[in-house]
Structure 1
Amino acid sequence: MRNTTTFRALATGALLTAAALGLSACAAPAEPAEGSGATMADVMFVQMMIPHHEEAIEMSDLLLDKSGVDPDVVAMAEQIKAAQAPEIEQMEAWLDEWEVGMSGMDDMNGMDHGGMGGMSDDMTSLEEADGADAGDLFLEQMIVHHEGAIDMAEDVLDDGQHPDVRELAESIVSSQADEIEQMRSMLES
């Protein structure tokens, strides 16, 4: 399982890099509004994190529609939805404030599930799984998904400057690392 998780994490990282390169090739993102305090790194992070969070919510919804799932796994899916939905709203508000929207992301969304690529097979597997198998699959997939979010957040901490974006990125690193540990513990028990 560890080799599979490592491979999936590397694959997710490669896909996120490809998505970022694809975005720059598809359309040049609009510069943030003058005086906003946001950099292109901040904008790219927000534009990529919105569909990433939407995908986590979609994964959670798939799990929550199932019966026979461990209540702890159900609680984790609910926790993820409760945390990420308001973050999406905040990030969308920043894009409006910066006057950039999701420029270029519409082209990427057609690539595959929220522009993250490679997740549609995982989503199909999760959709088809039942009960305990669905719970385990959700945990495995969400660990990889969270690792991708942490990588994105660490990148913006290196290059971004907007204080609110940096605060969100720090929160993502901390909270999702904690959730990864909880999910790994659930898988082991």
Structure 2
Amino acid sequence: MTAHRSLGRTAGVVATAAAAVLLAACGSDDGSSGHHAPGHDKSSTSSTPSVSASDSQGAHNAQDVAFAQGMIPHHRQAVVMADLAPSRAKSQAVTDLAATIKKAQDPEITTMSGWLKTWGRNVPTGDMPSMSGMAHSGGGMDGMMPEADMTKLEKLSGPAFDTAFLQMMIGHHQGAVDMAKTEQSKGAYGPAETLAKSIIMSQSAEIARMNKMLGK
């Protein structure tokens, strides 16, 4: 009888000790104790890379802002020039080119304006670059036509208009290509870099097309 009672007490002590060990292990697992299990820290930070990746998709820098603020008025001036062609050009090829330019650049103006609004930055008004765009891009006026040249173009018609339009638009496009190359090398916003690549490809092709029309 005494031996039976002794065995019972021993079993109770063992059970109590086991329970204490189990509780200690649980405390370590959920961080309630002063020591963390190696696997716990790893699992608690496993979501960080995906959050960072998501954030980086929307990242932009000063160059991206300058690109949009400089290219919007640049595009607007090209559209103004293109709008002159239907009533002044003699060559149907010039009229068709002007329509192509307007069709491509109008939506790009809308896209870039949307970026600036999202970033809380000013959308330029008119067809001249903003001072902030010029300051950051190191040449926001690349290829922009002076007001005197725009006035002169408005007064031309026939073959004289065609020649002046092509010559001016070539310079205008070359400026846009330079601005787009700067964005590709210094920008951070993926969609802006993609647009810059598209501008380089499309406007370089149009430069070659206009040079051919001029007999170069």
- Closer, same or farther: CA 119–64 of 1 in aligned 2, 3 Å: farther
For the pair 1:171 / 2:198, whether they are aligned, the reply is yes
- How do 1:124-163 and structure 2 match up within 5 A? 124-163=151-190
Between the aligned residues of both structures, percent identity stands at: 38
Offset of residue 106 of structure 1: 5.6
**Aligned counterparts of 1:172 and 1:186: Cα–Cα separation in 2:** 21
SS in 2 for 1:96: helix
- Of 68, 88, 104, the residue aligned with 2:109 is 88
Q: 1:74 and 2:95 equivalent? A: yes
Q: CA separation in 2, counterparts of 1:83 and 1:122?
A: 23
| Deviation at residue 101 of structure 1 after TM alignment | 2.1
**Larger relative contact order (CA 8 Å, sep ≥ 6):** 1
Query: Structure 2 CA distance, aligned partners of 1:82 and 1:188?
Result: 25
Matched, 1:53 2:75: yes
Q: Deviations over 1:66-112 (max 9, x none)?
A: 2x52000100000000000000000001111111123796668xxxx
Structure-1 residue corresponding to 2:207 = 180
Q: Contact (CA 8 Å) 2:117, 2:123: kept in 1 or not?
A: no
Work out whether residues 63 and 126 of structure 1, in 8 Å CA contact, stay in contact via their aligned partners in 2: no
- Alpha-carbon shift at residue 118 of structure 1 (Å): 5.0
The question of whether the paired residues in 2 share the 8 Å contact of 1:57 and 1:80 is answered with yes
SS at 2:214 equivalent:
helix
CA distance in 2, matches of 1:83, 1:163: 20
What is the CA–CA distance in structure 2 between the aligned matches of 1:75 and 1:92, rounded to whole Å? 26
Change in 2 beyond 3 A, CA 1:181/1:46 = same
Paired position in structure 1 for 2:120: 99
d(CA) in 2 for partners of 1:160 and 1:83? 22
Name structure 2 gaps, 5 residues minimum: 1-54, 133-139
Corresponding letter in the other structure for 1:39: N
Bigger Rg, structure 1 or 2? 2
Please provide the CA RMSD for this pair.
2.4
Select which of 108, 119, 126 maps to 2:146: 119
CA distance in 2, matches of 1:120, 1:91: 24
Unaligned runs of 5+ in 1: 1-33, 109-114
Residues 180/97 of structure 1: CA separation in 2 closer, same or farther (3 Å cut): same
Calculate the TM-score normalised by the size of structure 1: 0.73
**Would the aligned equivalents of 2:73 and 2:124 in 1 still touch at CA under 8 Å?**
no
1-structure distance, mates of 2:113, 2:205: 25
1:23-34 equivalent positions in 2, closer than 5 A: none
1:43 corresponds to which letter in structure 2?
V
Aligned partner letter, 1:80: I
